[in-house]
Amino acid sequence: MFRRALLGVIAGLFLTGVALAQDAPLFRGAPFGLIRRLPALPPPPADELPPPPLPRGGGPPPAYADLLPPRAIIGSLFRRGYRDVEIKRVRGGSYIVVAGDQDGGRVLIVVDGRTTEITGLRRIGWDHPPRQWSDDDWSPPRPWSGPRW
C-alpha cells in the first residue's frame, strides 16, 4: 500500500517535470524562469502627455489662508478667562466658538480670525442653575419653605 502511494507520487513529479520541460523554451531568459518579458513601448510624444496632477492638501483654501490657526483663537480666549473652548465652525473671516465663562455659564462667541478680537457674545446656557437669592440675603430659601411670593 505504501509502495503504491510512493510510486504514484514519484510518477506524478516525473510527469510534471516533463511537462514543464516542454514549456521551458518559452520562458528562457526571464528573470525567474516564469515571466515573459514584453517589448517596451516607446514613450508618447511630448505634446500628447497628460497635464501634471493638481497638488493635494497643502493647507487651507485661499479664502482662509490669512486666518490664525485654531490654537491661537483657543489660547486667546483661555487667557481671557474662558474655559472648555470648542470651535464650532469658521464663517467668512470669523470663528464661531462655544465656551464656559467665569460665572459658570455657556456663551457663544464670535471671534475675528485675523486679530482674535471678540466681535459677538451671547449667553446660551448655564452649567448649574442660577441662585435664587442675592448676596444681601442672610439665608437661602429652604426646600421645604414653599414658594416665596
* CATH code of 79's domain: 3.10.450
Q: Is residue 97 part of a domain?
A: yes
Tell me whether residue 28 is in a domain. Answer: yes
Whether 58 maps to a domain, the answer reads no
Which sign, positive or negative, has the C-alpha torsion 90, 94, 99, 105? negative
Q: How far apart are the first and last CA of the chain?
A: 107
Do 27 and 70 belong together in one domain? no
- Whether residue 70 sits in one domain with residue 34: no
Tens digit of each residue's pLDDT (9 = 90 or more) over 20-78: 665 555 555 555 555 566 777 787 777 777 777 777 766 556 667 789 999 999 999 99
pLDDT over 60 (residue 121) = yes
Q: Which domain holds residue 105?
A: 65-126
Same domain, 33 and 82: no
CA-atom Rg of the chain in angstroms:
39
Q: What pLDDT shows up at residue 28?
A: 56
73 in the same domain as 121: yes
Number of structural domains in the chain: 2
> Quick one: 33 and 73 in the same domain?
no
Query: Residue 109: enclosing H or E segment and its boundaries?
Result: strand 105-112
pTM of structure: 0.47
Is 139 among the domain residues?
Answer: no
d(CA 115, CA 113): 6
Kindly state whether residue 31 falls inside one of the protein's structural domains: yes
Question: Which band of pLDDT confidence, cut at 50, 70 and 90, is reported for residue 142?
Answer: low
